Chain A
Amino acid sequence: MPTGSIYGILGPNGAGKTTLLRMLLGIIEPDAGTRQLMGSDQPRSKSYQVGYLPEERGLYSGMKAREAIAFMGALRGLDWATGRERADDLLAEAGLPEAPRTKIGKLSKGMAQLVQLLGSIVHKPDLIVLDEPFSGLDPVNQGRLEELILAERDRGATVLFSTHVMAHAERLCDRLAIIAQGKRRYEGSVDEARAMLPMQAHYTPRRSDDGLAALLPAEAVEQKGEWRFPVPEDGMEALLGRLLDSGYGIAGLSLERPSLHDVFVALVGAETVEKMEEGAAA
């Protein structure tokens, strides 16, 4: 992972994202193989330089928000007084100026999640590891979190986060890895990932019948009257000529670069992605 970058780990549920992060941080030991965190194979020796937001959020409900943040800082070597001061500042910046003296149990789930996130960065770590940081947050707080991640990167921290929401990864990541069934399927930048697939054509005919599909590339998929398919290697001209000659006409046509979602589908399979999206919606 390049220092000072935002690195995403993408993968469907059960791909091994959380296990990977836990192993990296030394919470669990690998069954086989090795791992290195900031140049050390003893991850906990780097504990003071790392911040971590686990997927399963948890705080002591009886603690006040500022104490909870200071506590998480103290676990990673920050003294309590500085931790409390920074907690007040961070909460004010996050739009929660009243929160410092409020017990965690009395905060909303989203606010408590934000408090935990602030606790993971209060000691100004060099590496911030966030496991599914956007899950459970409303769109407003998701936006705040994106800003916070970018601000931490600008401060010089390296951010590593896992997600199965492509949009966040696409907007934030400098580099990413896609994993499925415990194996890495891709590693590189978002642009490099998108360049792996050809341009996508979105075509809407003026009329449609059973003969249309035979004229389109084999990968073409129809959805609500619109056909999507990769642009043929020899370009669109010949295909468009055949469509016009056959009388299907062109009601709409656009060419788009493939999205990260498309790359993800291509790497892990449409069925897996459908299951993942159904799970996320549920």
Chain B
Amino acid sequence: MIGHFVAQAAVIARRDFLATVATPAFLVFLLAPLFMLVFAVVGGAGARMIAESGEAAERIVVIAEGDFAARIEGADGRMRGAFPEMIRPPRLDLRAPEADPESQARALFEAEDIDVSAALYGPPEALRILRTATAGSRADYLALIADAARRDGAAGLPADRPLSAPEIELLERETATISGQQSMGFTALFVIFLLTLLLAGQTVSMLAEEKGNKVIEILAAAVPLEAVFVGKLFGLFGVAIAFIAFWGTLAAIGLVLTPDIGRILTALDPAIGLGPFLLLAIVYFAMGYFLLGAVFLGVGAQASSMREIQMLSLPITFFQMGMFGLASAAAGSPGTVLAYTAELFPFSSPFAMAAKGATDPQLWVHGAAIGWQLLWVTITIALAARWFRKGVLKSGPSVFRRVGRYLRGG
């Protein structure tokens, strides 16, 4: 019987796989992430251009002259390089003071050719800073370099070069960082979630074709409904694997061509090792796909029209987002009650356990988790098939009738 079950599920999986892959629509599906990437790149580039043009116009201004102005310029030159580019202060303009420096400073904020966010003026012993509402950090930076300039002056240090120039040695770290491992875990979690969102959600409409063209009765007569469900899940899983193989290959090529990839991978090295981690990520994707796919297949199988299926898509997406949120929270706080909850709850377990592999070196927990998830895949498919038999095929007595019969002692 098991042999029949597997063979019949394979027949259905083969049909579904070929019916999906051998269509022009599959090409569109396969290349869909490309459209997303193109939009993201174009949109991102546009947004960056706008942001950069805005940033280029922003200025902080110091109204000073003589030795103090030179020391301000020197301090700015030394400190600016310590900031990463993303958070570096805007360009510093030095202006010679006019008759009324305060009016001069205030007037700067009305300038039409530049956006002044903070301005420092006044004698060194009584400096004042004007700033816009959002430029607190700019004002702090001006205060910092003004203070450094005054200290340099008080100590009689040269304004144009640092007091010390330590030798800097580049050190190659040979072990992973905690943050790197957590990043790796979260990345795996996110990728698995994204793929599950893309692929498992599709199972909701998988029985619509058979219900629409009446093939369901042929299948139900020949094959146990559980085998129909398993076959359908494997059929789409094959599609998912084709999708992952295509994009995975491209991603691998991209990684190989990335300069300094060895150093990056060392920093990200998962606690269980990169090889086992990647293998587990694939297994957990499969588990997540089968768990959520079985739920969605079972729910979608109850729908009697495409409109109902479309309506079901929203709660299904929310459910997936909920599982992602739970697993993400767990990944950010390993070893907590929340993390254990996410690891044990069957529908978030694949995501949470994938992230756990990055930070926890124990392997046995993954064996236990996969067994637990497989059990729930089986339970979910069995329940979905039973629900379909009862709800759609109207098979057997209703629950109420059974209860009534039981109460009557039948």
Are A and B a genuine interacting pair, yes or no?
A: yes
Contact across chains for A47 and B223 when beta carbons are under 8 A apart: yes
Task: Take A59-B215, A60-B19, A61-B213 as given contacts and tell me if A52 and B221 are in contact as well, using a CB distance cutoff of 8 Å.
Answer: yes
Q: What is the distance, in angstroms, from A152's C-beta to the closest C-beta of chain B?
A: 18
Question: What is the bound-complex CA distance between A27 and B396, given in angstroms?
Answer: 10
Which of B7-15, B50-58, B322-330 faces chain A? B7-15
Question: What is the bound-complex CA distance between A50 and B12, given in angstroms?
Answer: 18
Q: Which residue of A28, A45, A76 is within 8 Å of B394 (Cβ)?
A: A28
Which of A67-75, A188-196, A218-226, A274-282 faces chain B? A67-75
Contact across chains for B222 and A75 when beta carbons are under 8 A apart: yes
Q: Which residue of B4, B216, B218, B396 is within 8 Å of A28 (Cβ)?
A: B396
Which residues of chain B come closer than 8 Å to A75, judged between CB atoms?
Answer: 8, 11-12, 218-219, 222-223
- Of chain B, the residue at the smallest CB distance from A27 is B220
- Say yes or no for B173: interface residue by CB 8 A criterion: no
- Say yes or no for A234: interface residue by CB 8 A criterion: no
Task: Take A28-B393, A31-B401 as given contacts and tell me if A60 and B221 are in contact as well, using a CB distance cutoff of 8 Å.
Answer: no
Which residues of chain A come closer than 8 Å to B397, judged between CB atoms?
Answer: 31-32
Contact across chains for A54 and B19 when beta carbons are under 8 A apart: no
Q: What is the distance, in angstroms, from A122's C-beta to the closest C-beta of chain B?
A: 12
Which residues of chain B come closer than 8 Å to A59, judged between CB atoms?
Answer: 213, 215
Q: What is the distance, in angstroms, from A91's C-beta to the closest C-beta of chain B?
A: 18
Question: What is the bound-complex CA distance between A224 and B397, given in angstroms?
Answer: 50
Task: Take A57-B214, A72-B218, A75-B222 as given contacts and tell me if A27 and B395 are in contact as well, using a CB distance cutoff of 8 Å.
Answer: yes
- Of chain A, the residue at the smallest CB distance from B395 is A28
B-side interface size class: 20 to 34
Q: Which residue of B4, B15, B210, B221 is within 8 Å of A54 (Cβ)?
A: B221
1/0 per residue, CB under 8 A from B, across A47-68: the answer is 1101010101111111100000
Contact across chains for A74 and B395 when beta carbons are under 8 A apart: no
- Of chain B, the residue at the smallest CB distance from A56 is B214
- Among B221, B224, B395, B396, the one with the most A-chain Cβ atoms within 10 Å of its Cβ is B221
Task: Take A31-B401, A74-B11, A75-B11 as given contacts and tell me if A60 and B222 are in contact as well, using a CB distance cutoff of 8 Å.
Answer: no
- Say yes or no for B217: interface residue by CB 8 A criterion: yes
- Say yes or no for B389: interface residue by CB 8 A criterion: yes
Which residues of chain B come closer than 8 Å to A29, judged between CB atoms?
Answer: 389, 395-396
Contact across chains for A56 and B217 when beta carbons are under 8 A apart: yes
Question: What is the bound-complex CA distance between A27 and B397, given in angstroms?
Answer: 14
Q: What is the distance, in angstroms, from B26's C-beta to the closest C-beta of chain A?
A: 13
Q: What is the distance, in angstroms, from B18's C-beta to the closest C-beta of chain A?
A: 9
Total residues of chain A contacting the partner, CB 8 A: 32
- Say yes or no for B314: interface residue by CB 8 A criterion: no
Q: What is the distance, in angstroms, from A39's C-beta to the closest C-beta of chain B?
A: 16
Task: Take A27-B221, A48-B4, A52-B222 as given contacts and tell me if A71 and B213 are in contact as well, using a CB distance cutoff of 8 Å.
Answer: no
- Say yes or no for A198: interface residue by CB 8 A criterion: no
Task: Take A27-B221, A76-B222 as given contacts and tell me if A62 and B19 are in contact as well, using a CB distance cutoff of 8 Å.
Answer: yes
1/0 per residue, CB under 8 A from A, across B1-42: the answer is 100100110011001000100000000000000000000000
Q: Which of A1-38 contact B (CB under 8 A)?
A: 22, 25-32
Contact across chains for B213 and A58 when beta carbons are under 8 A apart: yes
Contact across chains for A77 and B396 when beta carbons are under 8 A apart: no
Q: Which residue of A22, A27, A77 is within 8 Å of B7 (Cβ)?
A: A77
Q: Which of B185-228 contact A (CB under 8 A)?
A: 209-210, 213-224
Q: Which residue of A45, A47, A56, A58 is within 8 Å of B222 (Cβ)?
A: A47
Q: What is the distance, in angstroms, from B164's C-beta to the closest C-beta of chain A?
A: 76
Which residues of chain B come closer than 8 Å to A155, judged between CB atoms?
Answer: none
Q: What is the distance, in angstroms, from B3's C-beta to the closest C-beta of chain A?
A: 10
Contact across chains for A28 and B389 when beta carbons are under 8 A apart: yes
Q: What is the distance, in angstroms, from B200's C-beta to the closest C-beta of chain A?
A: 23
- Of chain A, the residue at the smallest CB distance from B211 is A58
Question: What is the bound-complex CA distance between A72 and B11, given in angstroms?
Answer: 9
Contact across chains for A27 and B393 when beta carbons are under 8 A apart: yes
Contact across chains for A71 and B217 when beta carbons are under 8 A apart: no
Which residues of chain B come closer than 8 Å to A52, judged between CB atoms?
Answer: 218, 221-222
Which residues of chain A come closer than 8 Å to B217, judged between CB atoms?
Answer: 27, 54, 56, 58
- Of chain B, the residue at the smallest CB distance from A119 is B218
Which residues of chain A come closer than 8 Å to B7, judged between CB atoms?
Answer: 77
- Say yes or no for A242: interface residue by CB 8 A criterion: no
Which residues of chain B come closer than 8 Å to A71, judged between CB atoms?
Answer: 11, 15
- Say yes or no for A44: interface residue by CB 8 A criterion: yes
Contact across chains for B218 and A77 when beta carbons are under 8 A apart: no
Q: What is the distance, in angstroms, from A209's C-beta to the closest C-beta of chain B?
A: 57
Apart from A32-B397, A47-B222, A56-B214, 18 more pairs, CB < 8 Å:
A25-B221, A27-B395, A28-B395, A29-B395, A47-B221, A47-B223, A50-B221, A52-B221, A54-B217, A58-B210, A58-B213, A59-B213, A60-B213, A63-B19, A71-B15, A75-B11, A75-B223, A119-B218
Question: What are 19 A-to-B residue pairs whose CB atoms are below 8 Å?
Answer: A26-B221, A27-B221, A27-B393, A28-B393, A28-B395, A28-B396, A29-B389, A29-B395, A30-B396, A31-B401, A47-B223, A50-B221, A54-B217, A58-B214, A58-B218, A59-B213, A75-B8, A75-B218, A75-B222
Q: State the B residues within 8 Å of A (CB).
A: 1, 4, 7-8, 11-12, 15, 19, 209-210, 213-224, 389, 393-397, 401
Q: State the A residues within 8 Å of B (CB).
A: 22, 25-32, 44-45, 47-48, 50, 52, 54, 56-63, 71-72, 74-77, 116, 119
